[in-house]
Structure 1
Amino acid sequence: MASEGIAAEAVGLEARRVGRAGRLMLRRPQALNALDLAMIRALHAQLRLWQDDPEIEIVILEGEGRAFCAGGDVRRVRAEVLAGDFEAAETFFAEEYALNAAIAHFPKPYLSLMHGACMGGGLGISVHGSDRIVTETAVFAMPETAIGFAPDVGASYFLPRLAGALGFYLGLTGARLTGADAVHAGLGTAFVPSERLAELGDALVRDGRAAIAHFSAPLPAYSLAPVLSAIDQSFSAESLPDILARLEAMDSDWARATLAELRRHSPSALCWSLTSLKAGARMDLDSALAAELRLAQRLMRLPEFAEGVRAMLVDKDRKPRWQPARLEDVDPRMIRDLFRP
């Protein structure tokens, strides 16, 4: 029974104390619970209150409607950039990444119950916690290269730590994983049928993390299993031209489809994203988030970000005009300058 209710629906978040659990609900369903600055601030403030509260033993995060969280509200960030309000855009990224770090360092179990879209910033508020329980409806992705950006929210840390070269494949292509595949890959921690997710939430309040074992279902087969060796062979290459060359040398439908996907993305974004992922593989999470913030502050000022968000999320014509349009024309000095201290 709820002993205390903290309504923050005006900022897209509801926080409730239920027994010894803190329950958080993202409540911006019309935007697939995409995170804006008000939601980020409300989440962070609530975690600060609960981390030192001896009566809160576990925190449970959910999303209202048909998605867990489709990412950060980059349409608003783009509008701020186009209006010349770089300070507001920088504040968004700085506070989002600070929230990601707070979740990673949260001293109590922090569980995400994930269904529908779990993308970009949605991974930032879940993957750094103790448990990610996913359903068959969940779809995981880091699609930043498609909008002229780079995998962030700590992705430069957690993607390279997936088995083999899987994280580089996911970070560069933006490939989507089903809920079961996300568990196989290591992004999810348990698989629960969607019809039992609400029941699990109530059981977690009563029994804590022990309840997960009673609701977990056997994992379906890993759909990526047949192409894992090809992923490792191609995406372990040192440079983007080498990755493309290895894919071109493979005579398979998967390789051809992967090549076609990569060629739809910003050539520049592919280059700086690969550089970021390789750097993050050598960093701890806090260092990776700091590096991502420096990079984000620079990328948001480039034409690729505004154009990518326009094509994919604003006009939705899916016809971005990348500058440059060819990988051969990407200036290596520009990529290096993005990563200067």
Structure 2
Amino acid sequence: MGKTEDREMLYRPLRRLGVVFNHMRVTAPYSTASKMDDEVLLQKIDTKGIITLNRPKSLNALNLNMIRKIMPQMTEWESDPHMRMVIMKGAGDKSFCAGGDIIAVTDSGKVGGQLSKDFFKEEYILNNKIGTYEIPYIAFIDGITMGGGVGLSVHGDFRVATEKTVFAMPETAIGLFPDVGGGFFLPRLGGRLGVFLALTGFRLKGRDVQKSGVATHFVQADKMHALEDALLKLHDPVPLDVAHVLDRFQSESTDVEDKDFILRPHMEEINRLFGGETVEQIVENLEKEGSDWAKTQLNILRKMSPVSMKITLRLINEGVTRTLQDDLQIEYRLSQRCIEDKDFYEGVRAVLKDKDQSPKWNPSTLEGVTKEHVDWYFSPLPPDRELTL
């Protein structure tokens, strides 16, 4: 393989990532124009609530206005003794939610704006609400589910994937980290799968989203409307009733071929090679392995932000013993340090704005990222800026 082919294989994942992220551009995060009211559709049908993310042209990317509409409604429904279920879904046929409003956040961060503080804080409070919700919460992750979309789904009781689902946490490619509770759920996927997904941004699709543990169920896309109807027809349901309906629809989803988990042939390698306590050890393990698969992972890691990879690995390693609440508080500190540092802006520039797919990370090497710098990321914020849950 020549140099041209090598470069193409190296940059192709970031080009695809840029296409997805580019849909998330939002120009008026605080606008109160009437059309903003339609970005989230809220319905109450008998004792059930339906939340529809309604920005299909932007792949239902999450912005602050949407968060501020969803959170109070979920709180109200939770406190209503008659409510029995909430369904979260995305409009259109491409995406559940492809991520968050990161361009607006970085634009705000450059000028010390409030959005760079409020967005992460209110998003994480919503993530915690979903993770502690007292009535059954069902996310239809039909289509692209990344970043903010992961936070709106993975902490809930039930997550239903389809053959159109594309799940990924690609934040290390833009100088961020797998937030929205990634430090809590990724280490609980088993073995080192969560570390692998977080560092490489690997995309899981279709049934593999369920086989990995990210989704609780798989239902083929053409049955989703019938599934919703069946759930809405449940009378006074308890979680077991919801589970029975989902189990039935999953068992009937036989038109989509059921294959082995796509990463099953590599799980031994993932658990062994990504078992290093430091990113340097993981890189060394991959270099020593020398297989084509290991070389591919090395090429991917070499494109990612060294700072992002180091804070990501520490977040996941330590997340094994943290509660969701503790994890989100740590993640909020990390988010604000990303705003104060350099790589987040550079990653957004390279992938979303200039689209040259050649970020200039600072530091540019793993060795250049000191323990003191990583410790600073995890250090407490001033008391009045900490996330309170």
TM class, shorter-length = over 0.9
Q: Which residue of 2 aligns with 1:3?
A: none
Cα pair 1:11 1:39 within 8 Å, conserved: no
User: What is the letter of the counterpart of residue 113 of structure 1?
Assistant: F
Cα pair 1:11 1:38 within 8 Å, conserved: no
1:159 aligns with 2:186: yes
Deviation at 1:171, TM superposition (A): 1.0
In structure 1, how many angstroms separate the alpha carbons of the residues matched to 2:84 and 2:354? 45
In structure 2, how many angstroms separate the alpha carbons of the residues matched to 1:62 and 1:39? 13
Q: Which residue of 2 aligns with 1:299?
A: 338
1:238-249 matched pairs, under 5 angstroms: 238-249=277-288
Q: Secondary structure at the match of 2:188?
A: coil
How many residues are treated as equivalent by the alignment?
334
Structure 1 stretches of 4+ moved >4 Å: none
1:108 aligns with 2:143: no
In structure 1, how many angstroms separate the alpha carbons of the residues matched to 2:42 and 2:177? 31
Say which of 55, 80, 87 aligns to 2:108: 80
User: What is the letter of the counterpart of residue 157 of structure 2?
Assistant: S
Deviation at 1:301, TM superposition (A): 1.5
User: What is the letter of the counterpart of residue 376 of structure 2?
Assistant: D
Deviation at 1:8, TM superposition (A): 8.6
Percent identity at matched positions? Answer: 40
User: What is the letter of the counterpart of residue 277 of structure 2?
Assistant: E
1:199-238 matched pairs, under 5 angstroms: 199-207=226-234, 209=242, 210-216=244-250, 217=253, 219-238=258-277
In structure 2, how many angstroms separate the alpha carbons of the residues matched to 1:248 and 1:199? 49
Say which of 96, 116, 133 aligns to 1:68: 96
- C-alpha deviations, 1:154-203, integer Å up to 9, x for none? 11011011110000111111111112111111110111111111111111
Q: Secondary structure at the match of 2:187?
A: coil
In structure 1, how many angstroms separate the alpha carbons of the residues matched to 2:320 and 2:248? 35
Q: Unaligned stretches of 5+ in structure 1?
A: 1-6
Deviation at 1:278, TM superposition (A): 1.5
Say which of 2, 6, 25 aligns to 2:52: 25
- TM-score, L = length of structure 2: 0.83
Q: Which residue of 2 aligns with 1:289?
A: 328
- C-alpha deviations, 1:207-246, integer Å up to 9, x for none? 3513212211364321110000000001111111110011
In structure 1, how many angstroms separate the alpha carbons of the residues matched to 2:208 and 2:38? 32
Say which of 56, 67, 85 aligns to 2:83: 56
User: What is the letter of the counterpart of residue 211 of structure 1?
Assistant: V
Cα pair 1:25 1:63 within 8 Å, conserved: yes
Q: Which residue of 2 aligns with 1:4?
A: none
Q: Unaligned stretches of 5+ in structure 2?
A: 1-33, 381-389
In structure 1, how many angstroms separate the alpha carbons of the residues matched to 2:112 and 2:323? 33
Deviation at 1:94, TM superposition (A): 0.5
Deviation at 1:249, TM superposition (A): 1.5
Larger deviation, residues 326-335 vs 107-116 = 326-335
Q: Secondary structure at the match of 1:160?
A: helix
In structure 2, how many angstroms separate the alpha carbons of the residues matched to 1:197 and 1:8? 27
User: What is the letter of the counterpart of residue 179 of structure 1?
Assistant: G
In structure 2, how many angstroms separate the alpha carbons of the residues matched to 1:98 and 1:244? 35
- C-alpha deviations, 1:55-111, integer Å up to 9, x for none? 3211011101210001111111011012221x3211110000000000111101000
In structure 2, how many angstroms separate the alpha carbons of the residues matched to 1:315 and 1:59? 40
Q: Secondary structure at the match of 1:61?
A: strand
User: What is the letter of the counterpart of residue 344 of structure 2?
Assistant: F
Q: Secondary structure at the match of 1:326?
A: coil
**RMSD of the TM alignment (CA)?**
1.5
Deviation at 1:261, TM superposition (A): 0.5
In structure 2, how many angstroms separate the alpha carbons of the residues matched to 1:315 and 1:194? 35
Q: 1:118 to 1:179 in 2, by over 3 A?
A: same
Q: Secondary structure at the match of 1:149?
A: coil
Q: Secondary structure at the match of 1:330?
A: coil
Q: 1:11 to 1:308 in 2, by over 3 A?
A: farther
Cα pair 2:36 2:65 within 8 Å, conserved: no
Q: Secondary structure at the match of 1:325?
A: coil
1:255 aligns with 2:282: no
1:311 aligns with 2:357: no
Cα pair 1:139 1:179 within 8 Å, conserved: yes
Say which of 72, 75, 98 aligns to 2:125: 98
Q: Secondary structure at the match of 1:329?
A: coil
